[in-house]
């Protein structure tokens, strides 16, 4: 520094250009430079030999963040270790879903260690659903994209944020009880839902969601090095990376633990700064729904069950008509159930990018038995494949592209749909609690993403599912642009809140549609016909 100052000082008068000062060698000043190459890599390993010891600091009453989507990417090794500590009770578990039976978080439900769950979807855990409806456990339903964003917000030091997801619904008003009194809905509500602050930005309604903090995160990963750098495999990422960044104590169970330097920096999904402990994953991977492609020797369906065949033909007719709305190159999200049939009826030459909310863009068909991979599943927890050009990502990224309106079309099922385009499709209060899942996020930006509903025109009891006003809790208000049923096709004027009948199914009369539709609607002058 001294040499530099001397060289930069202007010469004295008369000194001219002949004045030169020799540089002062650093060595002469007694200063040693420590280069990056000479700095040793920290060698304190985060690997624990015993999973039981790794979970020893989990305490009763804490909030546990748990990665996994269905049974994909579920940290079962850590869950099993915690289940061996029955004295740890009163836990709040935060995850996408509640596990299946005694798999995943379902194990801690059956052991009685969980007091409350914060979930987007109950899925197939009928035991937990029964406990909730009896007033024996607490349940806070949160839209899937909102839940992962609440976790991400805390990890990033953001106390709250505004989202369009859940506006005008029970998420905003807090009408879904967190806990019933013992005995269930008939006995009353012990803990009501949480209402949210609302603001309007650029004419659109948003709800404020608070960040969500975890005490401990249980994470499943494909690879981790000894200092915590972590890599996830395909859709295994889901909630795992976000949960890991959030918690005060993050424990990773990795299928492969590798030496420091083994992982390419480009491959690391989760930097080691977020990881506190690493254990070897010993519990096997599970597949919740092994769904395979039909082979050439697959026998045709039995003709014996005519009712089942008729129901399938009805679903296929609906899907075939909805497929006409999909254009070549579209980015499309398909809900679970009937919407997944739409890809079987795309018009010739139409190829699309299918997005699955658990973290796939470029989802392919069902696999063969040899191709089936527990780390590649869709939002319905079914095994799928990936197309050339596909990408995978975590749930936060997935719902950012959904809320941001980057999908061209989303197709969902419904319990009810109103004349104004309101959608209800996630619960029947006091009777059925499946959860919100990603539906509220999928319909949160209808100005940019066209929302199509596919459903049967009437319910099992004969009542109309196309109503003037929804009586069931809303998934979204004024969000649906088109409704396709087994009887007809309706367009929705979302601005005016009006329905227009544009097509009838073959063999269906206008009088039949009027008789089976509670909602008021107009009839297009050049009424068309749905494809057979």
φ/ψ of 401, rounded to 5, equals -75, -25
Q: How far is CA 136 from the centre of its chain?
A: 27
Burial per residue of 295-308, b for 16 or more beta-carbon CB atoms within 10 angstroms, e otherwise: eeeeeeeeeeeeee
* Among the listed residues 52, 19, 495, 28, the one whose alpha carbon sits nearest the alpha carbon of residue 251: 52
Contact residues for 445 (Cβ-Cβ < 8 A; gap 6+) = 164, 402, 403, 404, 405
Strand partners, 141: 119
Strands 331-334, 409-412: parallel, antiparallel or unpaired by DSSP? parallel
Respond yes or no: is residue 325 known to be catalytic.
no
Contact residues for 192 (Cβ-Cβ < 8 A; gap 6+) = 174, 177, 178
Q: Which residue out of 357, 397, 498, 500 is catalytically annotated? A: 357
Q: What element of type H or E holds 78?
A: helix 76-83
Between 144-155 and 395-403, two packed helices, what is the crossing angle to 10 degrees?
A: 120
Contact residues for 163 (Cβ-Cβ < 8 A; gap 6+) = 145, 146, 149, 206, 207, 209, 403, 444
Burial (0-12, 13-18, 19+ Cβ within 10 Å), 274: buried
User: What is the 3-state secondary structure of 314-360?
Assistant: HHHHHHHHHHCCCCCCCEEEECCCHHHHHHHHCCCCCCCEEEECCCE
Residues with catalytic annotation? Answer: 357
């Amino acid at each position: 520094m001294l040499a530099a100052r001397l060289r930069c000082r202007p010469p004295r008068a008369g000194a001219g250009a002949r004045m030169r000062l020799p540089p002062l060698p650093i060595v002469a000043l007694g200063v040693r430079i420590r280069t990056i190459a000479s700095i040793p890599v920290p060698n304190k390993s985060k690997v624990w030999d015993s999973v039981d010891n790794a979970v020893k600091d989990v305490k009763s009453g804490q909030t546990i963040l748990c990665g996994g989507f269905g049974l994909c990417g579920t940290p079962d090794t850590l869950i099993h270790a915690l289940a061996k500590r029955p004295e740890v009770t009163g836990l709040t578990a935060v995850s996408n879903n509640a596990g299946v039976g005694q798999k995943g978080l379902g194990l801690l439900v059956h052991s009685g260690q969980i007091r409350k769950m914060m979930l987007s979807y109950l899925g197939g855990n009928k035991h937990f659903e029964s406990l909730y409806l009896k007033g024996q456990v607490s349940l806070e339903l949160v839209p899937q994209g909102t839940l992962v964003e609440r976790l991400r917000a805390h990890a990033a030091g953001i106390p709250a944020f505004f989202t369009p997801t859940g506006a005008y619904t029970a998420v905003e008003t807090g009408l879904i009880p967190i806990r019933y009194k013992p005995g269930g809905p008939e006995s009353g509500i012990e803990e009501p839902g949480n209402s949210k602050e609302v603001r309007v930005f650029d004419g659109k309604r948003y709800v404020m969601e608070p960040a969500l903090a975890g005490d401990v995160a249980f994470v499943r990963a494909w690879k981790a090095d000894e200092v915590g750098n972590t890599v996830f495999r395909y859709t295994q990422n889901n909630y795992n990376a976000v949960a890991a960044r959030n918690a005060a104590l993050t424990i990773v169970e990795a299928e492969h633990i590798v030496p420091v330097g083994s992982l390419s920096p480009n491959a690391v999904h989760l930097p080691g700064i977020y990881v506190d402990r690493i254990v070897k994953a010993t519990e096997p991977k599970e597949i919740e729904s092994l769904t395979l492609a039909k082979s050439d020797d697959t026998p045709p369906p039995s003709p014996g069950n005519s009712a089942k065949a008729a129901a399938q033909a009805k679903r296929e007719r609906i899907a075939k008509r909805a497929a006409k709305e999909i254009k070549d190159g579209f980015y499309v999200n398909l809900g679970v159930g009937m919407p997944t049939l739409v890809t079987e009826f795309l018009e010739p030459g139409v190829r699309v990018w299918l997005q699955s909310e658990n973290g796939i863009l470029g989802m392919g068909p069902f696999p063969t038995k040899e191709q089936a991979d527990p780390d590649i599943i869709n939002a319905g927890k079914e095994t799928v494949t990936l197309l050339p050009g596909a990408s995978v990502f975590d749930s936060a990224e997935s719902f950012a592209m959904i809320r941001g309106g980057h999908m061209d079309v989303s197709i969902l099922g419904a319990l009810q749909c109103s004349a104004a385009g309101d959608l209800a499709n996630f619960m029947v209060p006091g009777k059925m609690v499946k959860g919100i899942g990603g539906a509220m996020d999928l319909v949160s930006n209808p100005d940019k993403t066209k929302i199509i509903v596919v459903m049967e025109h009437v319910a099992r009891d004969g009542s109309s599912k196309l109503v003037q006003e929804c009586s069931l809790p809303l998934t979204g208000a004024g969000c649906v642009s088109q409704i396709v049923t087994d009887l007809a096709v309706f367009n929705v004027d979302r601005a005016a809140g009006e329905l227009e009948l544009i097509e009838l199914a073959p063999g269906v009369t206008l009088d039949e549609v009027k008789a089976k539709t509670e909602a008021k609607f107009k009839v297009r002058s050049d009424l068309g016909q749905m494809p057979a």
